[in-house]
Amino acid sequence: MLILGFESSCDETGVALYDTETGTIKGESLFSQIDMHALYGGVVPELASRDHVKRIAALTRECLKEAGASFEDVDYVACTEGPGLAGALLAGMSFANSLAFSLGVPFIGVHHLEGHLLSPLMGNSSLKFPFLALLVSGGHTQILAVRRVADYELLGESVDDAAGEAFDKTAKILGLPYPGGKYLAQKAQKGRERHMAMLAKDPKAEPRFVFPRPMLGSGDLNMSFSGLKTAALTEVARHKEEMGGNLDDEFVEDVSYAFEEAVTDVLARKVAKALKKTGMRDVVVAGGVSANLRLREKFAKLRGRSHFPALGLCTDNGAMIAHAASYHLDRAREPLAFGVRPRWSFEDCFKKK
Ligand code: KG4
Ligand code: ZN
């Protein structure tokens, strides 16, 4: 069976053709609107919707061409139904449902987070249910027990900012471009190298800044990241007062290092606790922040086995949607009578009937 999957919930238009027999992606196309939104320092919903409409047909053609397939080969059409920006979701859902209708094939609506959650299963035969999942994106930070498809239990989550959101807000405070996660990570690497050089000379050398590890002692699996942004803000204000207006590179690198260490420590330690609590051995890390290399390093040291999506599959894409749809062929329905679910909670989507 071939599933043509679409993703348009935020600022990426993604299309992919997934083959259920081989478990592989036959063709894929993706356009990121990041450069357009960067001008405004954040995603502008109206512009996002318009851009999805503008590009989705050409991206579909590109994907099928790469797969060496035609529209007649498609057995199912799938698309992110929610959560996300209403207009952006509508752009993808209208196109996908119209296409399914015109081809006379069934349609499958996918929960965006399930797309992320199951994506490390693609091409990874060593990963089997049940497993633990850490979803870390711009909008979510959740630890879930994944017992089987559609049986997901929320074990803990951020009580305030999502980890990606904290990366982006702190990057902004440090004057880095939007979305700042990956830029902050690059700066942090330099700060870390400097600290490693200090440690080589003096094994007790402290880093220049140490940020708190919020809620580590909370006794549950919840997390909090908004205080780290405040810690960065406090250092920036102090630095500006002492040194004048400009933030020099070394300062930005040292604050980035302190921030990244704190976030990745909290995530790794909460997941270690969840592994112990559930007795599970595997942990899947998904969502944009799973691209973070320091996080990957720390997870490699956990007692469980950690699984990350390929770097290209960490951020939003069509492949994860087509792949997630392959587990829900029984949910396929007639196209066209559709709506979008901008605020679709995971719990509502998979509530036991
Ligand atoms: O899953 P995603 O593409 O979009 C949603 O939020 O659904 O995640 C985007 C988030 C942004 O906050 C971005 O800054 C962050 O992932 N991110 C990173 C890195 N690459 C992307 N954060 C830390 N380190 C990275 N290397
Ligand atoms: Zn996402």
Starting from the CA of residue 162, give the closest ligand.
Answer: 1
Model confidence band, residue 345 (pLDDT cutoffs 50, 70, 90): confident
Average pLDDT score over residue span 236-259 = 94
pLDDT at site 16: 98
Answer yes or no: is the C-beta of 291 below 6 A from any ligand 1 atom: yes
What values do phi and psi take at 39, rounded to 5?
-60, -25
Do 46 and 76 touch, CB atoms closer than 8 A?
Answer: no
Q: Which residues neighbour ligand 2 (ion) by CB within 5 Å? A: 137, 316
Residue 353 has pLDDT above 80, yes or no: no
What separation in Å is there between the alpha carbon of 157 and the centre of ligand 2? 16
CB atoms within 10 A of CB 350: 15
- What gap in Å lies between CA 156 and CA 288, rounded to an integer? 19
Answer yes or no: is the C-beta of 32 below 6 A from any ligand 1 atom: no
Could you read off the pLDDT of 277-305 as tens digits, one per residue? 999 999 999 999 999 999 999 999 999 89
Q: Return the H-helix or E-strand segment holding 110.
A: strand 107-111
Structure tokens at 139: 């909008």
- Ligand 1 mutation pick, 10, 182, 263, max ligand atoms within 8 A of CB: 182
Model confidence band, residue 68 (pLDDT cutoffs 50, 70, 90): very high
The SS3 assignment for 292 reads: coil
pLDDT at site 209: 98
Residue nearest to atom 6 of ligand 1 (CA): 138
Starting from the CA of residue 168, give the closest ligand.
Answer: 1
Helices (H), the chain: 34-38, 45-67, 86-103, 112-118, 163-173, 181-201, 226-243, 249-278, 293-300, 318-325, 346-349
Could you read off the pLDDT of 3-27 as tens digits, one per residue? 999 999 999 999 999 999 999 999 9
The SS3 assignment for 327 reads: coil
Q: Closest Cα partner for 107 from 115, 96, 118, 116?
A: 96
What values do phi and psi take at 114, rounded to 5?
-65, -35
Answer yes or no: is the C-beta of 335 below 6 A from any ligand 1 atom: no
pLDDT at site 66: 98
